[in-house]
């Protein structure tokens, strides 16, 4: 139960209502909230290397409907939203938040909100690897996706996308390799 969990974790407590101090209501536990910016900052520091301009190579396997191919792109990422998000830079120059650390759940959130829609989640880095999973809609196709990242260095990373198959196993979808532009 959502509300029970919020109180059990100490995120909320009973306290005076904001507009009627003689009435008790659920309020945020300010002592707990004070700890969150430091937690978020510490975790976000693990992703700062992502800021910059990247050459990306997307390798897609052949299927019954398409030959194998490789797509080449350039992506730019910045630290935005006052240091709380890694943002992609859209073609029109707008910052689009897409990766953050949620200190409430202690999970990384990978947010897709254009063409692909969903929130992939991760418990965090294990050495140089992080894995995001979640339900999403990819250009009109609903799926459960697992995206496994590997940070090779501050100037190279890669990830593999896999989708949940009907039998519950994971099937290879495509792979990406990013190298920092000189």
Q: How far apart are CA 170 and CA 43, in angstroms?
A: 28
Q: Tell me which residue has tokens 């418990």.
A: 123
From the number of C-beta atoms within 10 Å of its C-beta (0-12, 13-18, 19+), residue 100 rates as buried
What would the pLDDT profile of 52-92 be if each residue is shown by its tens digit? 999 999 999 999 999 999 999 999 999 999 999 999 999 99
**Is the domain defined by 41-180 classed in CATH 2.40.128.20?**
yes
Q: How far apart are CA 98 and CA 113, in angstroms?
A: 8
What average pLDDT does this structure show over 96-113?
97
pLDDT, position 98? 94
Q: How far apart are CA 108 and CA 113, in angstroms?
A: 16
CA angle (129 as vertex; 72, 141 as ends), nearest 5 = 55
Structure tokens of 111? Answer: 């947010």
What would the pLDDT profile of 80-91 be if each residue is shown by its tens digit? 999 999 999 999
pLDDT range class, residue 21, cuts 50, 70, 90: confident
Nearest to 157 by CA among 131, 181, 176, 172: 176
Q: How far apart are CA 140 and CA 129, in angstroms?
A: 29
Q: How far apart are CA 7 and CA 13, in angstroms?
A: 6
Cβ-contact 111, 100 below 8 angstroms: yes
Q: What percent of the chain has pLDDT over 90?
A: 96
What would the pLDDT profile of 116-167 be if each residue is shown by its tens digit? 999 999 999 999 999 999 999 999 999 999 999 999 999 999 999 999 999 9
């Amino acid at each position: 139960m959502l509300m029970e969990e919020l109180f059990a974790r100490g995120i909320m407590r009973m306290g005076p209502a904001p507009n009627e101090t003689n009435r008790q209501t659920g309020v945020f536990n300010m002592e707990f909230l004070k700890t969150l910016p430091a937690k978020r900052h510490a975790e976000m520091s693990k992703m700062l290397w992502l800021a910059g301009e990247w050459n990306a190579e997307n390798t897609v396997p052949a299927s019954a409907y398409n030959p194998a191919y490789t797509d080449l792109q350039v992506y730019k990422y910045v630290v935005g939203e006052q240091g709380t998000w890694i943002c992609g830079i859209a073609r029109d120059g707008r910052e689009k938040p897409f990766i953050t650390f949620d200190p409430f759940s202690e999970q990384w959130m990978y947010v897709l909100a254009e063409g692909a829609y969903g929130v992939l989640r991760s418990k965090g880095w294990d050495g140089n690897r992080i894995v995001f999973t979640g339900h999403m809609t990819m250009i009109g196709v609903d799926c459960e996706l697992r995206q496994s990242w590997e940070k090779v260095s501050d100037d190279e990373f890669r990830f593999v996308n896999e989708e949940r198959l009907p039998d519950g196993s994971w099937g290879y979808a495509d792979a990406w390799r990013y190298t920092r532009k000189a």
